[in-house]
Amino acid sequence: MLFDGFHSLLRITLGAITAYAALIIFLRISGKRSLAKLNAFDFVITVALGSTLASFILSKDVSFADGLLALAILLGLQYAISRASIASDKFGRLVRSQPRLLLKDGLFDEGALQEERVTLAEGMAAIRKHGIGNPTDVAAVILETDGSLSVIAAVQSDQLTSLEDVKGFEPSGGRR
C-alpha cells in the first residue's frame, strides 16, 4: 500500500513531533547517562528507546499514552539499574563488564583475545587508528566496557594509573 490517506500522515506527523518532544523531556529529566553507551545495559536501553519510539509513532495499535508509559518505564529501569550498580559493588559487577587488557608492552595476550572474541587484526586496527605504526610503541590495548578499544602509547608503566581496574593489568613491580 503506497498511500493510506492524509489522516494517517497527520497522525504520524503529530505523533512524531509530540513523542520526540516528550522523549527529549524524559531524557533531560533522566540525565546524560540514559543515552551513554558505557555498558551493555546502557546500549540495550538506547536500542529499546528507539524501537519503542518508532512503534508508537507508526503503529495504530499503540496509543500515545501507552508509548509514553513504555518510554518512562525504560528510562526508569535504566536509572534504577545505574543507581543500584553505584550503590552495590556486587550488583555493579553483575550488570557491568570489566575492561580487559588485550596487549601489554607491545605483546598481545592471545588468551585474552580469544576469550573476548577480538581478532589480532582488530587490535592492530585500533593501534593504527591512534596513529601508532608498531605495537612495540604501545603500552596497552584495552577492550572497554562499551566494546571499544583504547590504546595507550608506551610510557613508564608506573604512570598507567588509569589501568588499575583493568582485568589482566598488573603494574611493573607487582604492586596493585
Q: Which residue has the cell 509514553?
A: 68
> Which grid coordinates belong to 138?
604501545
Domain boundaries, the chain: 6-94, 100-163
Which of 14-28, 63-77, 140-154, 160-174 is least confident?
Answer: 160-174
**Closest of 53, 55, 54, 30 to residue 42, by C-alpha:** 30
**pLDDT for position 168:** 81
pTM here is: 0.67
pLDDT in tens, 60-72: 888 888 989 999 9
What's the sign of the alpha-carbon dihedral 34, 38, 41, 47? positive
- Nearest-angstrom CA–CA distance, 106 and 108: 7
Q: Answer for the pair 168, 109: CB distance below 8 angstroms, yes or no.
A: yes
100-163, CATH topology level: CRO Repressor (3.30.240)
pLDDT recorded at residue 172: 62
What is the spatial distance between Cα 12 and Cα 88, in angstroms, rounded to a whole number? 43
Nearest Cα to Cα of residue 154 among 173, 169, 135, 171? 135
pLDDT at 151: 95
- pLDDT digit string, tens, across residues 81-97: 889 988 999 998 888 88
Looking at the predicted structure, is the pLDDT value of residue 158 above 80? no
Task: Report the C-alpha gap between 17 and 12 in whole angstroms.
Answer: 8
